[in-house]
Chain A
């Protein structure tokens, strides 16, 4: 990750979109404290939490939760669901507090994700993909968090199951006043889910904008390449995509980032300056930021 800055408001869904090696999952893990940043700050409700999770105050740990990408590997395949869901309570319980209320709370959590109480005794490896995803979400909600990082929550799910999980997540957001930081590679899904889209490439933010504005007017050449590559199902959607850009090359390794603008080897608009200088983030339209030399004359430079 390289000089990434963004904010998430209360009850907002900010989506971080990118392909492999973009650093999107790394951001999510850093926000919840699994990784510590090499530099920079993370402010949660005014407090700087840019430290590993073990060093954070307990209340912050409860408020920031994560749903991991692959429910098959993030749930212990040998533990019953009840034990998996009890763990957050055991970890966050105040010292000496009686843990008897756990059982009831686990049943409440299961009901919240529309699983019957008898799921508490099932072993997670016997559940379907959609059921596992729901258990992973229930686990994240156990501590009544304020912000949940969703790392590709529906990536391994079928379309009809995905729709159900997304509807569920939306309902939780409204009822429980949650904010989401949703990490994904699926722009069509984010079109329907996010208030704000952030596009990442090789550890840097290329573009950041409100959702509707982004899809109407994608500015960065990488955003345009991404959008023009999405397979769509309707003719109306095809008309909304930018003109077909010949996607060329593959994403370089993050170990070997190209000089200047990291996207320049694959960009159709490369200029001399792109090979030399890394562009800075500029605000081109209200609340629409882009990091690209094509717009550096137009935009007001934002000190990031």
Chain B
């Protein structure tokens, strides 16, 4: 069993708005182990990006714990309220790749300047400018970008979407993080470029032993890249397991609804979608958040949030219809 690198326990995130409080993440718990690749999958508004942003402290949770096992700090750091020095050390080990590569990069600075800033931040010792550039060029070569010198001199608008995303990946991996969080990194890219980026991420992450949390709404991509997937709905995790097993045998009614709605090459009939719509986060449903749309709901579903029930060794589902009679 690999050591635990990141542990998220009962995470809650609320955003106050004019007429109440949006309870976007409502009790999410999962762990990422060293060298593991996790997928966080769900539709818009399910809270997957918010969870990712909590880990890098772009968003403040309203409750819950996020514990990160930091090598530089030499101990487990609480990422919700870390000490100043602890955070300074731990943050150099976590990197994030954002959804739209052209907007993730600063448009008014060259790639070289941005790379240098990123590397200087992670590596506190003052080094010669040349050293950073050498490291940057090496990183760009690793992501299979031809002519690193030209790329370094360019501005983001001079590069295509695929090239920008490779630059972002290079910047993220150049600092050799323990944990990489990728938030829909290939959504804005063409399908053939997406394939190349996925293979690249796969190879680099495997080689360096980095843990990866891949956030997306694309089930097919997760099947290719992740060891384990968590399906999220309305701020909660409803099912977890190895992707291939989960997709060929979806248990939770929401996952089943999703799988029926995904268009397939086999031309299996596409469903009409899942009836109903995502709940109001200001006044979310009691009990299981999916129950208003669920075809197999039981009376208990309206009152109590279902815990996880194991379906097999690795596969668990948060649904009372899988509760075995005592």
Contact = CB atoms under 8 A, between A and B. Distances in A.
Contacts of B193: 19, 247, 250
Nearest to B271: A163
Interface bin, chain B: 35 or more
Interface centre among B44, B194, B219, B266 (most CB of A within 10 A): B266
A244 B196 CA distance: 12
Nearest to B43: A158
B221 A234 contact: no
A187 B274 CA distance: 22
Interface string B229-261: 000000000000000100110000000011111
Interface centre among B192, B218, B219, B260 (most CB of A within 10 A): B192
A233 B258 CA distance: 11
B265 A158 contact: no
A129 B44 CA distance: 10
Interface string A158-174: 11111110110000000
A192 interface: yes
Given A158-B44, A192-B267, A231-B218, A250 B262 contact: no
B264 A191 contact: yes
Interface string B267-284: 100111110010000000
B191 interface: yes
Contacts of B44: 129, 158
Given A19-B190, A19-B192, A226-B191, A233 B272 contact: no
A118 interface: no
Interface string B201-218: 000000000000000011
Contacts, number: 118
B248 A234 contact: yes
Contacts of A188: 220, 262-265
B220 A230 contact: yes
A160 B273 contact: yes
A241 interface: yes
A160 B290 CA distance: 14
A233 B229 CA distance: 13
A23 to B, nearest CB: 14
Contact of A159 (B160, B194, B262): B262
B223 A231 contact: yes
Contacts of B221: 231
A159 B192 contact: no
B194 A233 contact: no
B177 interface: no
A251 B162 CA distance: 10
Given A19-B191, A247-B192, A250-B163, A232 B265 contact: yes
Given A129-B44, A232-B223, A160 B264 contact: no
Contact of B191 (A160, A161, A193, A230): A230
Interface in A220-261: 225-226, 228-237, 240-241, 247-248, 250-251
Interface residues of A, number: 42
Contacts of B272: 163-164, 167
A215 B217 contact: no
Contacts of A225: 192
B228 to A, nearest CB: 16
B191 A229 contact: yes
B314 interface: no
Contacts of B270: 163, 166-167, 192
Interface in B143-195: 160, 162-163, 190-195
Contacts of A159: 43, 217, 219, 258, 261-262
B224 interface: yes
13 contacts: A158-B217, A159-B258, A163-B260, A163-B261, A167-B273, A188-B263, A191-B265, A228-B195, A229-B192, A231-B194, A231-B198, A247-B193, A248-B196
Given A160-B273, A188-B220, 13 more contacts: A19-B192, A158-B43, A163-B273, A167-B270, A188-B263, A188-B265, A231-B195, A231-B218, A231-B219, A233-B220, A234-B247, A237-B266, A240-B266
Interface of A: 19-20, 128-130, 158-164, 166-167, 185-189, 191-193, 212, 215, 225-226, 228-237, 240-241, 247-248, 250-251
Interface of B: 43-44, 160, 162-163, 190-196, 198, 217-221, 223-224, 244, 247-248, 257-267, 270-274, 277
